[in-house]
Chains A and B, each alone.
Chain A
């Protein structure tokens, strides 16, 4: 058998064994081997195949990406206009938006710079504080808090449901779920009511110093609630976070069905947006000397120093005043209470002591001193001395000293006064002995008696030779009578009996002795008569003749009174 005959036989066997299936196999082979046919077959299912694979994983995109990139770059190299025209509707608004946002940021920063450099600002705050009646510090605080991002909402755009909500510490918030819904509703309302272009979005809400900054991604919306000036970098930060969220949570966002658990881990990222800035932050670290602080510290130190100094002065003054009061006789310091305004002093004061106010006198200066006095009897020598003076009222010839409780008398004093002192000194507080050794005691009445005696005895009544008559109304008689009366009174006081007077008559030496004796007696008798006539009869009068005369007749013819003490 030839090879060809063998082939034909084999062919026949296959036909018998496989029949129609063999024809199909032949057709499949020609379809695979014929490029035209294979292309037609794949073309029928290629779209569906890609779709099916894409549903399983991202490998289609990965595989196609380099090709598409190359294709795009080649297309741009060949004719850039083609792609530009296709992209125009997308790129146009995006570029416009980007430019306008950049411009807005620039304007914001220029504004911030301008405002920060105006030193008039502080003046305005003072004016504001004055105008509104608020404290300056309050105004400054309000103005120096540049901004604070208080809340951040991550909202699912399609359903308006809240995915994440972060709140700064201490900020009071409403129910985040409802706020999220209303935020979306407000956007819908505004966009429906006023929007003129497709794709225009509400991106800022403002009420007072509160601003809600909205930033959108394809699936989620990030709303930041800012108090104060909106920081220029906020939008950028929002965009970065939104991009990150979309990158990592793309499928979860796309397929979101109300389960927010999957977004819990985003809280940390959102919290980074909750920032706070004070305006003074800008100035820190510039190396400037903080003059205000320096001045404040110096002022404070000066104030404290001055306060300390005045306090010291006041304390010094108080010490001096109290020392003076303690030194002062008759005053006893009980206690003193010093405050900044006044000095309160409690004292025991003897009635004889000086007034405490006089003791303090000008020494106190401006210091207000208040006294609280209690009476007492002092035994200090000086006060006892004064008390003794008050009690005994000595005349100027007597001096009183007090030493060691002894009342020491010096000088000259009458016996009457000494008698009083001797009787009363035990009543004198602070004295327990009397010393009169140095005192010269005298009786003034005796002295007066002596004086009057001399006076009386000095009076002479002169006579002619042999005569014995006395003019009873003469001036000499009345002088003598007056003197005798006083003498008698004193004598009576001193000795409790009348004074005894001798009346003596004198003669000259001429003539016989017997005659002279008679004439002498007559003359004394004449004086007695006169005195009796003047009523000085209560004194004891004795009459004598004096035999004392000179033989040559030069003796005086007279009569006189001699006082007798015995």
Chain B
């Protein structure tokens, strides 16, 4: 279960706000967990821990003066040996596809993952995050790839390390869901 400290509550959760499940998808090591950590806890850790299965976090965001509780499913990364389980996607109101700007392979994985998400979820809002914008020196992301992604929804250049565009990423998605 969640290892996040400080989330003890005394009794019944009495929240009456809207709840939405969203998912973060993408190749291994693109920074899905780091984006969530930055977003939820405002922290960054350069060490890499691979996510096994899924980890659920939550954060309340305010969109157009309405509060929404996002339940963020951090789904383990995908590569040619391990495919993402579709059942984790079920019931998501939207999703973020994460691409690693320094690894061209992650772009291909992103396209495949996005296609499977469409198959499971249909036409729900999706946002693409091109992550690790702080490592712009080793950037391999092309204009063509960007254009291609933009056809499927918003594209944001993010950095979990510096926090750049992370808040916006989730805000854009929440706005699209509502």
Contact = CB atoms under 8 A, between A and B. Distances in A.
A159 B87 contact: no
B19 A258 contact: yes
Contacts of A257: 18, 93
Given A173-B9, A189-B54, A179 B2 contact: yes
A566 interface: no
Nearest to B6: A175
B91 A156 contact: yes
Interface of B: 1-2, 4, 7-9, 11-13, 15-16, 18-21, 53-58, 68-69, 71, 73, 85, 87-88, 90-93
A185 interface: yes
Contacts of B18: 257-259
B16 A261 contact: yes
A269 interface: no
A158 B91 contact: yes
B21 A167 contact: no
A172 B9 CA distance: 8
A397 to B, nearest CB: 103
A161 B56 contact: no
Given A162-B13, A179-B2, A174 B93 contact: no
A262 B92 CA distance: 20
Interface string A164-175: 011100001111
Contact of A161 (B4, B16, B53, B71): B71
Nearest to B16: A261
B56 A159 contact: no
A489 interface: no
B9 A175 contact: yes
- Chain A contact residues (Cβ within 8 angstroms of B): what range? 20 to 34
Contacts of B8: 172-175
A162 B73 CA distance: 14
B107 to A, nearest CB: 26
Contacts of B53: 185-186, 189
A185 B19 contact: no
Contacts of A158: 90-91
A181 B19 CA distance: 12
B2 A159 contact: no
A159 B73 contact: no
Given A159-B93, A258-B93, 15 more contacts: A159-B21, A159-B91, A160-B21, A160-B71, A161-B91, A162-B19, A174-B9, A176-B13, A177-B71, A185-B54, A186-B53, A188-B85, A188-B90, A189-B53, A260-B15
21 contacts: A159-B21, A160-B21, A160-B91, A161-B71, A162-B19, A165-B12, A166-B12, A174-B8, A174-B9, A175-B8, A176-B9, A176-B13, A177-B69, A178-B4, A185-B56, A188-B88, A258-B19, A258-B21, A258-B93, A259-B19, A260-B19
Contact of B2 (A160, A174, A189, A261): A174
Contacts of B2: 174-175, 178-179, 182
Nearest to B92: A159
Contacts of A162: 13, 19
A117 B147 CA distance: 75
B7 A178 contact: yes
A362 interface: no
A423 B4 CA distance: 106
Contacts of A182: 1-2, 54-56
